[in-house]
């Protein structure tokens, strides 16, 4: 085996280095290092929700991507995985591709049709930003004394256009009837396959409560984040209004959001919510959400506890998987059907109507919601 160092990669041509290493490498040897993007594209009537993402995992040598489309009670999924190559600016995995036309402003999302099944999921979309990107709070998580999560993310809302096709039906995507949200994140996040050790047994989670809520209004973008432990202790908090770049107005903080969520009886599936906010003048403002449709992130999209495929796992070179899920079949979905779920929603704030994502997961004990343990559900 040669002792020579690998040659520079194309990205080394650019002045973007943060440490004295080739851009082939990341500065940490942590197996769980990642760099990922996620998109949600959905219509305002709740008929269709497309989710797409792409991630690289430098220390496991994997690049992978996914796309899922919910229409009715069917979820159409395309997943692809491959060995991570040298050109990090080539965001292509199998039939899935992301083109950065103008950074932070214009992107193109593509899923090529399957020649063997032209009725399967495919799309060609342009995502046009309408608001500046917003940094989310620095996200940290520990298991005992070990740092197991450290992520940096920005979020953004925009206007999508183009076409989505599935099951022989074409959905024309237009900015007036559809919304697009996205986030970019990187850092360290658990990848399946690692033995977590003694700390995982001694520091088991009693409960986890999560709300991630980007909302696009006509002239404003609102981001709300809430993460709480079993006793309601808040470990992540955000409520910020962002104005269009041309407005020249600074971002506005809207305090410490408090959420009242109405669940479907006998479940922890939300159907509506009120998020209470407050501005710098301490005026109370209510963000009301009526949920339209939802897609569990563990079904098709590769988030835990998916049992058929998860991000960052080696599937071999040139792996592509296409499948359709019946969301009314809980036996086929297993625990994946109960994971964190992205819900499209119609929001109102200050008399204005907007559309966005109400991402939610509530597991185990959560005292503010009255959930005593993992088996608790809404009355």
Q: Residue 356: what pLDDT?
A: 98
Task: Using a cut of 0.85, tell me whether the model's pTM lies above it.
Answer: yes
Please give the Cα distance from 349 to 213 (Å, whole number).
Answer: 13
Q: How far apart are the first and last CA of the chain?
A: 64
Please give the Cα distance from 183 to 199 (Å, whole number).
Answer: 30
Q: Which domains does the chain have, with CATH numbers?
A: 31-190+298-337 (2.40.370.10), 204-297+340-379 (2.40.370)
Per-residue confidence in pLDDT tens, the chain, 379 aa = 456 778 899 999 999 999 999 999 999 999 999 999 999 999 999 999 999 999 999 999 999 999 999 999 999 999 999 999 999 999 999 999 999 999 999 999 999 999 998 889 999 999 999 999 999 999 999 888 888 899 999 999 999 999 999 999 999 999 999 999 999 999 999 998 777 777 777 888 899 999 999 999 999 999 999 999 999 999 999 999 999 999 999 999 999 999 999 999 999 999 999 999 999 889 999 999 999 999 999 999 999 999 899 999 999 999 999 999 999 998 889 889 889 999 999 999 999 999 999 999 999 999 999 999 999 999 9
Q: Residue 145: what pLDDT?
A: 84
Sign of CA dihedral 354, 153, 305, 49: positive
Q: Residue 99: what pLDDT?
A: 98
User: Bridge-partner residues for 150, per DSSP?
Assistant: 140, 188
Alpha helix stretches (DSSP H) within 86-232: 198-202
Structure tokens at 85: 């190559």
Contact 216, 354 (CB under 8 A): yes
φ and ψ at residue 354, rounded to 5 degrees: -140, 175
Q: Residue 309, Cβ neighbours under 10 Å: how many?
A: 19
pLDDT digits (tens, 9 = 90+) for 184-206: 999 999 998 777 777 777 888 89
Please give the Cα distance from 298 to 296 (Å, whole number).
Answer: 5
- Token match 């070179």: residue? 317
SS3 294: strand
> How would DSSP label each residue in 317-358?
TTEEEEEEEETT-HHHHGGGGGS-EEEEEEEEETTEEEEEEE
SS3 33: strand
pLDDT digits (tens, 9 = 90+) for 78-127: 999 999 999 999 999 999 999 999 999 999 999 999 999 888 999 999 99
Contact 144, 182 (CB under 8 A): no
């Amino acid at each position: 085996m040669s002792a020579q160092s690998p040659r520079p990669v194309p990205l080394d041509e650019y002045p973007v280095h943060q440490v004295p290493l080739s851009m082939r490498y990341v500065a940490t040897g942590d197996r769980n290092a990642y760099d990922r993007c996620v998109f949600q594209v959905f219509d305002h009537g709740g008929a269709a929700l497309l989710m797409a993402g792409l991630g690289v995992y430098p220390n496991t040598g994997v690049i992978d991507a996914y796309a899922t489309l919910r229409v009715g009670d069917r979820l159409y999924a395309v997943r692809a995985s491959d060995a991570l190559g040298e050109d990090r600016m080539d965001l292509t995995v199998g039939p899935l591709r992301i083109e950065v036309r103008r950074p932070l402003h214009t992107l193109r999302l593509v899923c090529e049709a399957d020649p063997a099944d032209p009725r399967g999921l495919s799309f060609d979309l342009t995502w046009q930003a309408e608001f500046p990107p917003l940094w989310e709070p620095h996200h940290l998580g520990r298991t005992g004394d070990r740092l197991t999560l450290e992520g940096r993310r920005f979020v953004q809302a925009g206007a999508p256009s183009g076409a989505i096709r599935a099951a022989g039906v074409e959905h024309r995507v237009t900015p007036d009837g559809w919304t697009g949200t996205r986030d970019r994140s990187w850092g360290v996040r658990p990848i399946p396959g690692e033995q977590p050790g003694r700390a995982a047994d001694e520091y088991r989670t009693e409960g986890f409560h999560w709300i991630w809520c980007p909302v696009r209004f006509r002239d404003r973008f609102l981001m709300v984040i809430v993460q709480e432990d079993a006793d309601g202790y808040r470990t992540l908090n955000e409520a910020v209004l962002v104005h269009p770049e041309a407005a020249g107005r600074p971002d506005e903080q809207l305090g410490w959001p408090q959420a009242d969520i109405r669940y479907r009886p006998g479940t922890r599936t939300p159907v509506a919510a009120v998020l209470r906010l407050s501005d710098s003048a301490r005026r109370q403002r209510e963000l009301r959400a009526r949920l339209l449709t939802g897609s569990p992130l563990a079904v098709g999209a590769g988030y835990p506890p998916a049992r058929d495929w998860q991000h960052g796992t080696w599937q071999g070179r040139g792996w592509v998987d296409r499948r359709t899920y019946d969301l009314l079949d809980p036996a086929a979905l297993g625990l994946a059907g109960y994971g964190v779920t992205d819900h499209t929603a119609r929001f109102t704030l200050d008399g204005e109507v907007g559309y966005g994502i109400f991402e939610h997961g509530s597991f185990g004990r959560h005292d503010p919601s009255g959930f005593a343990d993992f088996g608790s559900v809404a009355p």
